[in-house]
Amino acid sequence: MSKKCKVNWLDIDGASPKPKALRLEKDETDSLYHCPIQECDHDGFQGQRGCRKHKNTKHSWFFYFDEKPNSKEIPDLLNAASNFPIESTSQGQTSETTKHAGKLLPSFSLSCDIAKVFTKWLTGSGGGYKKDRAAQQIVTRCFNFLRFCCEDEEELSFDVVDFGLCSPNLLFKFINYLQDECKLGHGGHLGYIDAISEMIDFRKLHGASEAVVRKFSATELYLKRAQNSVAKMMRLQWTTDLDIETLEARGHWATMEDLLEVVKFHLVCYENTVKICKSSPAQLNPSDLTFGTKFVAMYLFIKVKGHVL
């Protein structure tokens, strides 16, 4: 991954002398750990480790400030970080690629009446009682798509919404634009696909005519195929990225001998956990069960990827 200079937030005026503690709680709705920064548009993390790493790399100021300091107040530090040369990534992307990846997409106003009605539906029973943060992300992605479809429209109307949702050709161009111009990853593609699907469901239940609803079927067919294609590409990428030889070549993984030593080291603890499960499961701690699950997952990963054991 590309590396940038880190800003020492402790040296900035107004910084807390001690970093704040980061407490993370799993969202009961989607079982994910969300970034505490409200402005962050990340969908969430499966575990606390990923969320903490994201916080340390993207929002390190959070530990010393309640709000992110203005860049004008710290020009020397931030300019030093932003002017640091960016290296090529492991996938061969250059600094120009990184520049496009952070480009903001144009959008309709998120304070219009349609945005309010759509958000209310998403957070209600019809939309699955989504959290405000998740609903805001869905609305933003849909409005990005609609602005792409109707660049000349000044205000958003339901006619504009139906026009965009009934245009598989424009949807196809938009997905390609996200990949080719914005350099969006597979997870981002799925996020946009799911968001547009939510808006189609919203229009079906709120005012769309029968003729418009029939046209939605073509868009939904493309969305389903696009979702399957992106999911297949994700699996292929994971297969390549998680290959033992690939990780060893990049210096991101231990040797196979080291991995086998780790298995042997934890094998005794795993066997004891299995014995307790069989003899007196009521005495088993949840942490022991978590350890056993992770041990089996690690064992199977090494067995499949390493073709040993």
Q: What is the pTM assigned to this prediction?
A: 0.51
pLDDT at residue number 262: 80
What confidence category does residue 73 fall into, taking pLDDT thresholds of 50, 70 and 90?
Answer: low
Pick 16 or 97 by higher pLDDT. 16
Strand partners, 45: 33
Q: Are 203 and 162 spatial neighbours (Cβ–Cβ below 8 Å)?
A: yes
Q: What are phi and psi of 304, to 5 degrees?
A: -75, -45
Domain ranges of the chain: 9-85, 101-241, 250-306
What confidence category does residue 84 fall into, taking pLDDT thresholds of 50, 70 and 90?
Answer: very low
- Tell me which range, 48-57, 186-195, 239-248, is most confidently predicted by mean pLDDT: 186-195
**The residue to which tokens 């229009």 are assigned:** 203
Q: Is the pLDDT of residue 229 over 50?
A: yes
- Model confidence over 175-194: pLDDT tens digits? 888 888 888 888 888 899 99
Q: Is the pLDDT of residue 83 over 60?
A: no
Q: What are phi and psi of 243, to 5 degrees?
A: -70, 135
pLDDT at residue number 42: 77
Beta carbons within 10 angstroms of residue 150's beta carbon: 19
Residues 118-129, mean pLDDT to the nearest whole number: 92
